Amino acid sequence: MNKVSAAITAVGSYVPDHVLTNKMLESMVDTNDEWITTRTGIKERRILKDPDKGTSFLGIQAAKNLIEKNNINPEEIDLVIFSTATPDMPVASTAAFTASSIGATNAFSFDLQAACSSFLYGMSTAASYIESGRYKKILLIGADKMSSIIDYTDRATCIIFGDGAGAVLFEPNEEGLGLQDEYLRSDGIGRNFLKIDAGGSLLPANEETVANRQHFVHQDGKSVFKFAVSNMADVSAKIMERNNLTDEDVNWLVAHQANKRIIDATANRMGVPEEKVLMNIQRYGNTTSATLPLLLSDFESKLKKGDNLVFAAFGGGFTWGSIYLKWAYNS
């Protein structure tokens, strides 16, 4: 019997209609289009404006897109993993609500939080469940309503983040396609550089924390950038070395869309030319858990069966890593 690997067999996505451009941000904070573009590569981002809709709405739409596009029976899904840094609410699982909403009535489900590395860690988790042989269809969703935790008077963060969702289906594969290798890391030193101060068990919400705007994302941009550039490039180079991949062997770099300069640094370290680097940061900004699946969805038609994809991500915590995956189908 051939070794079972975990392959991505379907993708879906959703972004809200409302577009927040750099020009619009100029009227909100002290910034300008040229400054944002040269430093981040971002031109616009999508915002979920409806105050009655949370991250689950985004994830449900992406999952429905995947299900409808591929004629999948949601009752056959065994597990739903919802990667997100912005769950609908504490305690009550966003994944459970999402699974029920899409008709995945036979699935169990859970949320996975590793900041901007959530989807990458989710890929590892989903693949492990498939490789165990106990589960055949796993829906992995990456979604974030970042606008719910962004202070739109803070130019360090409000120019970067957007809302969006993507989803992939993992299934067993006996052709040697799918997830080949992973190298995942974390380091608690990052706790002070990228965080939301209040709302957790360490500093529960009170009148003071709200008045002090401590429920929004705060980041030390320079430190985060420095760590991200070195670490994301390091693990991507390491996964290539470990699997004897040359720059010619790599068909596509699928990198977390946080900053164009970080993506470029990773590509340079790998020796991968620009035409092999998937990029949509200019359209969506940093959608946190949704960046990787949104890339797969936007560029699905370019991906060919057998293509070598290197995924890379870096997030708060710090969390980071790289995954080597062989693409399993032609769309």
Q: What is the pLDDT of residues 125-143, one digit of tens each?
A: 999 999 999 999 999 999 9
Q: Is the separation of the CB atoms in 322 and 124 below 8 Å?
A: no
Q: Is cis: bond before 318, omega within 30 of 0?
A: yes
pTM above 0.95, yes or no: yes
Report residue 2's pLDDT band, with 50, 70 and 90 as the boundaries: confident
Annotation says 32 is catalytic: no
Report residue 1's pLDDT band, with 50, 70 and 90 as the boundaries: low
Report residue 178's pLDDT band, with 50, 70 and 90 as the boundaries: very high
Each residue's pLDDT tens digit, 247-273: 999 999 999 999 999 999 999 999 999
Domains and CATH numbers, the chain: 5-176 (3.40.47.10), 179-326 (3.40.47.10)
Each residue's pLDDT tens digit, 145-160: 999 999 999 999 999 9
Across 102-259, where does the E strand assignment appear? 108-112, 138-145, 163-173, 178-186, 194-196, 217-219, 252-255
Cβ neighbours around 4 below 10 Å, total: 15
Q: Which of 22, 65, 116, 173 is catalytic?
A: 116
The fraction of the chain above a pLDDT of 70, given in percent, is 100
Annotation says 286 is catalytic: yes
In this prediction, residues 107-126 reach a mean pLDDT of 98
Annotation says 158 is catalytic: no
